[in-house]
Structure 1
């Protein structure tokens, strides 16, 4: 199946490892020109070399970083047709252990960086009458997970943003969707220190997901084939979500 991504340009945020790296790899394989960003410049350069992508070091927690990295990607690639908003997960802890700075840092890095990046990418997409905005969230946005308090709160807000923007941008040929990874074998999952055997038993498919499985979903929704799908929150979770 030809996804029609040859000649398209994409920016994948948070792509030096994990889900972001897998997404960037799939987009490159489909013929897209790809730029990636992350905080760790050394790891980012290594990832970009392996992918054949453009490396753009960026700390998305800093003011205006989301806008700046989109502008840099557009300058390097000529345009940004596909924007994949993917940020590192905030610390996992119960509410009583979360301080005001934890909330502020997470809001800047997870939410404000997303709105800044979208605001920077949207005018060019409107001019070309084509665009794909994909926000990587979590199943925690739909069914909160214990100790993922910050993520539970802020990622649900990104779903409200997704639905709102999908209606505002639809007439311009721009789709906006949220993608919810379930338990997927990444460093983030390892850092959460969960009992993976126990978690696997909770998933109807009986196993943890692979990054490339999630990346395939993102790549499809970035394609011409998905031109009539917008405003959706789509899970790739092995059936873990119980909600309708």
Structure 2
């Protein structure tokens, strides 16, 4: 990446940081006001949809703020330390995985809240969509770890070698054990409280997917020294 491109990214970072903080504050205030109004018996049209929207706005704005404040500097440090094209592409991939992992956490929390409303008969169309999307988040991260997505396939010769394949296997093995432990625990809880098990499943799926992603990144950093 050229100096000019880095300067353009830095200017974009500066422009996005303050609006992201404002949007996050608005999301928190709207969600808090809606929750307090509901607790005090005030009828709010489409209350669940407002809460879901406020949660998504807060989470998305938080991720943008984190990326623009700290993530850009961490990414450029990784990028500048890379010796060749393969190292640069792999460093970029590692940062993308980290960003997607924490974005998926926020969206998985939204899915869990939507599932909670579904099991209590208070769901609308958006809740069904949000709850089902938990499966997408759970699949997306392992797909990215394995370099099966469209972008990775275009850069396959830069992203894959014997070491990367070894790290992929170790990351997915760790994720498998987390998935089995989480699914087993959720099953046991479901025998007692089925509604709790359904609400917990988005976070169980995220935990397994995040293990694959974070383990892969951590192993890569360890081998890089």
Question: Under a length normalisation based on structure 1, what TM-score does the superposition of the two structures give?
Answer: 0.31
Q: Which of these two proteins has the greater Rg computed from alpha carbons?
A: 2
More helix by share: 2
More strand by share: 1
